[in-house]
Amino acid sequence: MITSTSVPLDIALRMLLNGAKTTIVLSVFSILLGLLIGLPVALMETYGGKTLRRVAMVYEGTLRGIPLLAIYFVIFYSMPMLIGLGLSPFLAAVVGLGIRSSAYQSQIFRSGIQAVDEGQIEAALSLGMSQWQIIRHIVLPQALRMSIPAWMNEYVIVLKDTSIALALGIVELTRQATYLVSITAEPFRYYGLAALFYLAMVLPLTYLANWMGKRYGIKGTGGAMDVRL
Amino acid sequence: MVWETIARYLLHGLVVTLELTIVGFIGGFAFGFLLAVARTYGGRLSRALSATYIELIRGTPMLLQLYIIGFGLPLVIRDHFPNFVMDPTVAAALGMVINSAAYQAEYIRGAFNSIEYGQVEAALSLGMTKWEIIRHVIFPQAFRIMLPSWTNEMVYLLKYSSLAMLLAVPELMYEASVAASQTFLYAQIYLVVAGIYLVFATLIIGIMRKVELKLHIPGVTTIKR
Amino acid sequence: MSDSDRVLIIRNLTKRFGEKPVLKGISFEVERGETKVIIGPSGAGKSTLLRCINRLIEPDGGEIIFNGTNILERGVDIRKIRAKIGFVFQHFNLFKHLTALENVKIGLKVVRGMSDEEAEKKAIKALRMVHLEEDAFHKYPAQLSGGQQQRVAIARALAMEPEIILFDEPTSALDPQLAGEVLDVMRELAKKKVTMLVVTHEIGFALNAADEVLFFYDGVIWEKGKPEEILYNPKRKETREFLKRIADLSVGGP
């Protein structure tokens, strides 16, 4: 039986704000981890030999075909028992979201890399550059720039999916909102505020991503790909 | 022996998961289609309302939406109907439909917009009515163009149906956790469950790819290697 | 000349887009069996004029009398009218999800209500009239050359057995060689006395296929007359300037 207790608004707001802070911190760490892993995987998949490519594709395919919640449970419950590596809830949340994001980010970077005009690579080779020099000086700068809109889109997805970390006990925004609703029985107010927080973070980023998509994105894909898969 | 029981739990959960996925997808398409039409062909109010709805849903986490419907909504209804109890599975399905519709509306709109107006002009010049044009010119092309988005959406719903676990819906993830807490075989069970999702995701992608290949028309759809 | 000889009578047609007047009172007639060509600088409103005739665009004022009926009046069944007016577009506008044969059949089946066999017979006849290669019948537009696509578009219009066919710069999107095949087909149609109203830059076609040429510029028809008169002996300075510019651009003569 839910009893309706009133919580002073300033305390409630502070709780939500703390939740929002955790959401943002979690999202930033996760997206960066995703970048750290995703970029090398993209390079592996584009320039690697057959085995490397196969490994990258399996990595990508697996992480994209499993729910984040399942990834979390495997990391948090299965991993300690199987390989003795136990992670704190926060670390598990970051690692789980991070490696999942890395699978999508590697796709994004691959598209960016492939969008770099063949002719430039031929020109670079003709100058005598090595494969690695070409990647470093010609391909990556352009590929990364073209990937920005889609990458920002991915960040928005990561931001929203931080909510799933509450299953590991992380006190983020959605969890705070639900907690407040369960105490006060005022869903409109607290879910409404939580929704506003998310929108305030997501909408500007989405518009920015779309705008950048028009300027820097890959022509013909409309820039920011709203790919959910 | 123990695995027989576990398998039974998981099977029950799998059925619910698949039900949620299918209902979410079909409901999402139906509602999404209406949203797309309102967004493209509606009057100013319809366009504003549907656009707002879409932005709202796409700008907030699905989990939040599930909680609002599964937890928040019953609270509000209980103010007027004190004995109201909502079946969590229904709530989850509703939440998934509401979420999927917003995304599918955009896919549908994109497909409609990608058909050049010139073909509509040509159809009009032949004397076709608006409905004939939609039926014979727009729909066959839009349908094919949307297939990859559908694949996307189905796999997404399959994966995110797992969130229903947090509403105590007896889908795959939930049943897995129940089985795990009873057998303490956490490690293995969650790995198996991850594998099950992977299998079904791959199945969906494989089947849809066959469908895409079968319906492929050069100039209308592109086949990615 | 009785009215039934005049398929199309345009009287004082006007149209403006916002502040800008595009058609400032156009009047002319097209007789049955005639091939009339409209020339003039691009962007002057020639496409708008054609699209007004089958009411893809609604004109602001004037009369369009098609086969004795003013089609701008209320209560006119524009679909039935459109089925009798053929339209060939600059960018072909074939239905991308249908093969060449299906593109020609669809109007007959959906609008005319013909059975599949009837439609197929008429479609094949139309495709033969434009000399489309047999192995192209079952290809999709994306698999056909521009010239083939445009010929299919012409067949699609022909199959409906219209009273008049409107051509909106049919060869402007084609390179010269492919344009040639399309112009050849159009010349044949003109010889067969198909009633045609053609907007084009192809002076050569105007010279050997047109019965009358109209010079259209700045919303108004400045001159009309026999092709040789207009093209070799234009009376108005605007016509002369336009022709000079065209002559500079074109390689080789008519």
Gap between the Cα atoms of C56 and C67, Å rounded: 18
| pLDDT one-digit tens code per residue, B179-214 | 999 999 999 999 999 999 999 999 999 999 999 999
In a domain, A126, yes or no: yes
Q: Given a cut of 90, is residue C3 above it in pLDDT?
A: no
Half-sphere exposure of C69 (CA within 13 A, CB side): 14
pTM, to two decimals: 0.83
Q: Given a cut of 70, is residue C116 above it in pLDDT?
A: yes
Our CA-based measurement puts residue C119 at a distance from the nearest CA of chain B, in whole angstroms, of 14
In a domain, A207, yes or no: no
Tell me the sheet residues that pair with C39.
C215
In a domain, A101, yes or no: yes
Confidence at residue C232, expressed as pLDDT on a 0 to 100 scale: 85
Confidence at residue A223, expressed as pLDDT on a 0 to 100 scale: 38
C108 contacts in B (CB within 8 Å)? none
Contacts of A171 (CB under 8 A, 6+ apart): A18, A19, A22
End-to-end CA, chain C: 32
Gap between the Cα atoms of A153 and A147, Å rounded: 10
- List of chains touching C (3+ CB pairs within 8 A): B
Q: Is the CB of B75 less than 8 angstroms away from the CB of A181?
A: yes
Structure tokens at B117: 């107006």
In a domain, A215, yes or no: no
Gap between the Cα atoms of C7 and A188, Å rounded: 68
Gap between the Cα atoms of C218 and B79, Å rounded: 70
Q: Following DSSP, what letter does each residue of chain A receive, concatenated?
A: --------HHHHHHHHHHHHHHHHHHHHHHHHHHHHHHHHHHHHHHHS-HHHHHHHHHHHHHHHHS-HHHHHHIIIIIHHHHH-----HHHHHHHHHHHHHHHHHHHHHHHHHHTS-HHHHHHHHHHT--HHHHIIIIIHHHHHHHHHHHHHHHHHHHHHHGGGGGGGT---HHHHHHHHHHHH--HHHHHHHHHHHHHHHHHHHHHHHHHHHHHHS-TTTTSS-----
Gap between the Cα atoms of B161 and B171, Å rounded: 8
How many structural domains does chain A have? 1
Element (H, E) at C63: strand C61-66
DSSP state of C3: G
3-state secondary structure of C190: helix
Q: Is the CB of A67 less than 8 angstroms away from the CB of B76?
A: no
End-to-end CA, chain B: 44
Our CA-based measurement puts residue C83 at a distance from the nearest CA of chain B, in whole angstroms, of 5
Residue of A94, A109, A27, A93 whose CA lies nearest to A60: A109
The answer to whether B152 touches B160, Cβ cutoff 8 Å, is no
Residue A122: give its domain's CATH number.
1.10.3720.10
Gap between the Cα atoms of C31 and C71, Å rounded: 17
CB contact C66 to B (< 8 Å): no
Contacts of C151 (CB under 8 A, 6+ apart): C130, C131, C132, C181, C182, C185
Structure tokens at C145: 């050359």
The answer to whether B102 touches A228, Cβ cutoff 8 Å, is no
Q: Is the CB of A167 less than 8 angstroms away from the CB of B166?
A: yes
3-state secondary structure of B191: helix
Gap between the Cα atoms of B125 and B137, Å rounded: 13
CB contact C83 to B (< 8 Å): yes
Confidence at residue A226, expressed as pLDDT on a 0 to 100 scale: 47
Our CA-based measurement puts residue B41 at a distance from the nearest CA of chain C, in whole angstroms, of 18
Domain ranges of chain C: 96-162
| pLDDT one-digit tens code per residue, B136-146 | 999 899 999 99
Q: Is the CB of B219 less than 8 angstroms away from the CB of C96?
A: yes
In a domain, A48, yes or no: yes
**What is chain B's Cα-based Rg?**
21
A194 contacts in B (CB within 8 Å)? 64
In a domain, A44, yes or no: yes
Confidence at residue A127, expressed as pLDDT on a 0 to 100 scale: 81
Contacts of C32 (CB under 8 A, 6+ apart): C4, C5, C6, C7, C163, C195
| pLDDT one-digit tens code per residue, B114-159 | 898 999 999 999 999 988 998 999 989 999 999 999 999 999 999 9
pLDDT band for position C79 (50/70/90)?
confident
- List of chains touching B (3+ CB pairs within 8 A): A, C
Gap between the Cα atoms of A127 and A121, Å rounded: 10
This complex has an ipTM of 0.92
- Strand ranges across the sheet with C69-70: C20-31, C6-17, C61-66, C69-70
* Range of weakest confidence among A135-144, A208-217, C17-26: A208-217
Confidence at residue A225, expressed as pLDDT on a 0 to 100 scale: 42
Closest Cα in chain A to B75: A185
Q: Given a cut of 50, is residue C253 above it in pLDDT?
A: no
Report CA-CA distances (Å) from B185 to A84, B84, B163, B166, B193. Answer: 15, 37, 21, 20, 12
Structure tokens at A89: 């809830």
C106 contacts in B (CB within 8 Å)? 126, 136
Confidence at residue A205, expressed as pLDDT on a 0 to 100 scale: 92
Report CA-CA distances (Å) from C91 to A203, B115, B116, C147, C149. Answer: 39, 14, 11, 11, 9
B126 contacts in C (CB within 8 Å)? 82-83, 106-107, 110-111, 156, 160
Average pLDDT of span C31-55: 90
Our CA-based measurement puts residue C184 at a distance from the nearest CA of chain B, in whole angstroms, of 23
Tell me which residue in A164, A185, A202 faces B59 most closely, judged by beta carbons: A202
C169 contacts in B (CB within 8 Å)? none
Other CB atoms within 10 A of residue A63 CB:
21
Half-sphere exposure of A223 (CA within 13 A, CB side): 17
- List of chains touching A (3+ CB pairs within 8 A): B
Closest Cα in chain B to C156: B126
In a domain, A5, yes or no: no
In a domain, A10, yes or no: no
Contacts of C194 (CB under 8 A, 6+ apart): C33, C35, C158, C165
Tell me which residue in C92, C142, C153 faces B218 most closely, judged by beta carbons: C142
Residue ranges making up the domain that contains A154: 24-172
User: Could you tell me how many CB contacts below 8 A there are between chain A and chain B?
Assistant: 129
Q: Given a cut of 60, is residue C252 above it in pLDDT?
A: no
Our CA-based measurement puts residue B98 at a distance from the nearest CA of chain A, in whole angstroms, of 15
Confidence at residue C159, expressed as pLDDT on a 0 to 100 scale: 95
- C77-106 exposure pattern, b = at least 16 Cβ within 10 A, e = fewer: eeeebbbbbbbbbbbbbbbbbbbbbbbbbb
Average pLDDT of span C158-186: 95
A65 contacts in B (CB within 8 Å)? 155, 159, 197-198, 201-202
Contacts of B6 (CB under 8 A, 6+ apart): B179, B183, B185, B189
CB contact B197 to A (< 8 Å): yes
pLDDT band for position A222 (50/70/90)?
very low
Q: Given a cut of 50, is residue A224 above it in pLDDT?
A: no
Average pLDDT, chain C: 91
Tell me which residue in B125, B217, B218 faces C54 most closely, judged by beta carbons: B125
Q: Given a cut of 70, is residue B165 above it in pLDDT?
A: yes
Confidence at residue A1, expressed as pLDDT on a 0 to 100 scale: 45
Q: Given a cut of 70, is residue A2 above it in pLDDT?
A: no
